[in-house]
Amino acid sequence: MPITQQLDHDAIVIGAGFSGLAILHHLREIGLDTQIVEATDGIGGTWWINRYPGVRTDSEFHYYSFSFSKEVRDEWTWTQRYPDGEEVCAYLNFIADRLDLRKDIQLNSRVNTARWNETEKYWDVIFEDGSSKRARFLISAMGALSQAIFPAIDGIDEFNGAKYHTAAWPADGVDFTGKKVGVIGVGASGIQIIPELAKLAGELFVFQRTPNYVVESNNDKVDAEWMQYVRDNYDEIFERASKHPFGVDMEYPTDSAVEVSEEERKRVFESKWEEGGFHFANECFTDLGTSPEASELASEFIRSKIREVVKDPATADLLCPKSYSFNGKRVPTGHGYYETFNRTNVHLLDARGTPITRISSKGIVHGDTEYELDAIVFATGFDAMTGTLTNIDIVGRDGVILRDKWAQDGLRTNIGLTVNGFPNFLMSLGPQTPYSNLVVPIQLGAQWMQRFLKFIQERGIEVFESSREAEEIWNAETIRGAESTVMSIEGPKAGAWFIGGNIPGKSREYQVYMGGGQVYQDWCREAEESDYATFLNADSIDGEKVRESAGMK
């Protein structure tokens, strides 16, 4: 029997979040038998595992949703400008039902190993329980920020109280009423959970190492008129977001922060601060992401806001970032974050000046002081972009494991979609894909994969693989893109995850493409217009021959 008849599926997609659902739907449309395998017991990906109090989108609902399905657009109703995690999870489950995806989603199936069979040209996917499935194509939809990390603090396993990570939150929630709680981490996750914990905990101790520039979101209800407007204009909204460098539907500023008068600068900063969220970062001035001087002006404006809100001057000062400027970390948005530090039950501790010494059986030891706690919440982030891919064994040609390839050759991909040495393997939100509101590259990526795999099928191409050369070209463009931003200067100072700076020992490479989401889409389009030449040019597959036999130019 030919091997293709012994395969379980045409494609196996790992992960049932935004990416997995979009890919399953789009590959079904071209007749590929596609199966999602999902490690957890639910649909929703990042929104299923990050069920901590306060979790919600940092992007507004109208560009944090898919535009491809008319049924979903017409029938789903968003209720909040920044939907909370429960609402986003409900949206994804609604999509799974409405598009009849559930029957091709296998839950509780954690992948341990995926191994390329070079002789028979298929992927063997092996699960934690020892079972396996075979497919021609393997697609990672495991998420860019899904591999949670705990810090390397001595004694972390000795704590006798309860320990939680924001990215592995108990499904039934946690009752913190009256408890003494410690939080480690003030990134986007910490910033969302801290105000909620403060309302419940008896005492909340916030261990802050690097403060952030938090922009208030100014959340709002979505009324029927607003929802209808969005329904009627989804295509235009999505189109504008896909042309925006950060994948958001926002206006383009025209002035430089450095060149306008002080009064005008203040007026613009104030008005966009009022509008809230990413509007401040994107709509104030042309150069907050490109000029260190402009970024410092925004930094000083936010510091002045912190000092205005936080009553205790010493606490306000500690909350003001000084070692890097605005945009040096992924801009987090807040919901009453700074006000929280006016509460008498909230205590801010400086984990930079005085690092956490260790975790004891009773709590956190900070300097010489032991803070006795009932619970510790780790809001300590992720091994971003590469973590999910290097945490399992993805074994390509010649037995090479993906993590070893990247460790040896450096982080290399062909526009974030494929990797040399790993035939018939695609990634959604792979490393070196845009630094952006992620729903936009997820949808566009799923549609790109649909057209690419249709092309492959129609021409009878058995194997696709990019060359090392294609990866070097994309790596050079990734570096160029990053170096045109302040992120390349400020990110390393801030230990940002986008440069691998949040993990001791992780190589400092640009994990994302910062040259703009719209520029990235141009590269994807060009690849397509060239009949995917760079995806069929690895030495191993004799791209020339493949193209010739498929009747291509």
Q: Is 142 in the site for ligand NAP (CB under 6 A)?
A: no
DSSP 435: S
Phi, psi for residue 120 in degrees, rounded to 5: -100, -5
When binding is defined by CB under 6 A, the residue of 35, 57, 418, 466 that contacts ligand NAP is 57
Strand ordering across the sheet containing 369-372: 356-359, 363-366, 369-372
In angstroms, what is the minimal distance from the CB of 166 to ligand NAP? 6
When binding is defined by CB under 6 A, the residue of 134, 303, 330, 366 that contacts ligand NAP is 330
Q: Is 190 in the site for ligand NAP (CB under 6 A)?
A: yes
In angstroms, what is the minimal distance from the CB of 527 to ligand NAP? 26
When binding is defined by CB under 6 A, the residue of 15, 23, 51, 58 that contacts ligand NAP is 58
Q: Is the separation of the CB atoms in 288 and 485 below 8 Å?
A: no
Q: Is 184 in the site for ligand NAP (CB under 6 A)?
A: yes
Burial class (CB in 10 A: 0-12, 13-18, 19+), 73: middle
Q: Which residue is nearest to ligand NAP (CB)?
A: 187
When binding is defined by CB under 6 A, the residue of 185, 396, 421, 491 that contacts ligand NAP is 185
Q: For ligand NAP, which stretch binds (CB under 6 A), given 16-24, 55-63, 122-130, 439-447?
A: 55-63
When binding is defined by CB under 6 A, the residue of 379, 400, 456, 536 that contacts ligand NAP is 379
When binding is defined by CB under 6 A, the residue of 37, 153, 183, 204 that contacts ligand NAP is 153
* Closest among 217, 205, 209, 472 to 335, alpha carbons compared: 217
Q: Is the separation of the CB atoms in 389 and 422 below 8 Å?
A: no
> Any idea of the CA torsion for 56, 60, 63, 66, to the nearest 10 degrees?
30
Q: For ligand NAP, which stretch binds (CB under 6 A), given 8-16, 26-34, 179-187, 300-308?
A: 179-187
**Residue that the structure tokens 């995690």 belong to:** 85
Structure tokens at 142: 């495991």
Is the CB of 182 or the CB of 421 nearer to ligand NAP? Answer: 182
Phi, psi for residue 416 in degrees, rounded to 5: 70, 0
In angstroms, what is the minimal distance from the CB of 318 to ligand NAP? 13
In angstroms, what is the minimal distance from the CB of 457 to ligand NAP? 35
In angstroms, what is the minimal distance from the CB of 60 to ligand NAP? 11
* Closest among 198, 191, 183, 200 to 363, alpha carbons compared: 183
Q: Is 187 in the site for ligand NAP (CB under 6 A)?
A: yes
Residues of this chain, 223-282, that bind ligand NAP according to CB under 6 A: none
Q: For ligand NAP, which stretch binds (CB under 6 A), given 93-101, 181-189, 249-257, 387-395?
A: 181-189
Q: Is 517 in the site for ligand NAP (CB under 6 A)?
A: no
* C-alpha angle 172-177-183 in degrees, rounded to nearest 5: 80
Which region holds residue 300: left if phi is over 0, alpha if psi is between -120 and 50, else beta? Answer: alpha
Which SS3 state, helix, strand or coil, does residue 132 take? strand
What residues make contact with ligand NAP under the rule CB under 6 A? 56-58, 145, 151, 153, 184-190, 192, 207, 209-210, 330, 351, 356, 379-382, 495, 497, 502
